Amino acid sequence: MEFKLPLGVVSNTDVSHLMRELAALDEFFIALKARKAGTSVAPPRLTRLLDQISKENKLNLLQTSHRKSLSNQLAKLEKSAPLLHISFAAEPSARFLEQILAWLRENVHSFCLLQVGLQPSIAAGCVLRTPNQVFDMSLRVHLEKEKAFLLELIRGAVSER
């Protein structure tokens, strides 16, 4: 069965959180076996993301083998998933990030992860960094490329007055 990564898993931080949550769940089941009979125990609450990833991959987290399988997949993901750094002038909405991530996972790699940053000097647009290349798609860079044309337009507008 192919491992499916939900769009809610955006960054390597999300992967780390999921791995810690799975470890806590494992510890709970180990402690459950060691407790005295009749003692009440509160199971750890699952986050929406862990619940979603287990449902999409048809995993039953009550089963040790399923938790181990998910843990192994997440460990592989943490080590080898393509990580792209993308910076914006302002905090992007979750919906916008989901759309970017969906496109990246469909067109670049099915396990792409994003690290999102803020860089107010961008003004508009974004800067995308891969391990070996930078794509500056900011308004600032675009205006710098068109500087001569903009100056020509301004001179023309001023001279007409």
Other CB atoms closer than 10 Å to residue 14's CB: what's the count?
Answer: 20
Name the pTM for this structure.
0.76
Q: What pLDDT, on a 0 to 100 scale, did the predictor assign at position 89? A: 84
The beta strand positions in 67-119, using DSSP E, are 83-88, 113-118
Q: Token pair for residue 111? A: 């396990």
What is the rounded average pLDDT for all residues in the chain?
86
pLDDT digits (tens, 9 = 90+) for 8-24: 898 999 999 999 999 98
Residues of the chain with pLDDT under 50: none
What CA–CA distance (Å, rounded) separates 68 from 73?
A: 9
What angle, rounded to 10 degrees, do the helices at 48-56 and 64-80 form? Answer: 100
CA 49 vs CA 14, 56, 104, 123, 136: distances in Å = 9, 10, 20, 32, 32
Domain ranges in the chain?
12-79, 82-145
Q: What pLDDT, on a 0 to 100 scale, did the predictor assign at position 54? A: 92
Q: What pLDDT, on a 0 to 100 scale, did the predictor assign at position 157? A: 72
Q: What pLDDT, on a 0 to 100 scale, did the predictor assign at position 48? A: 92
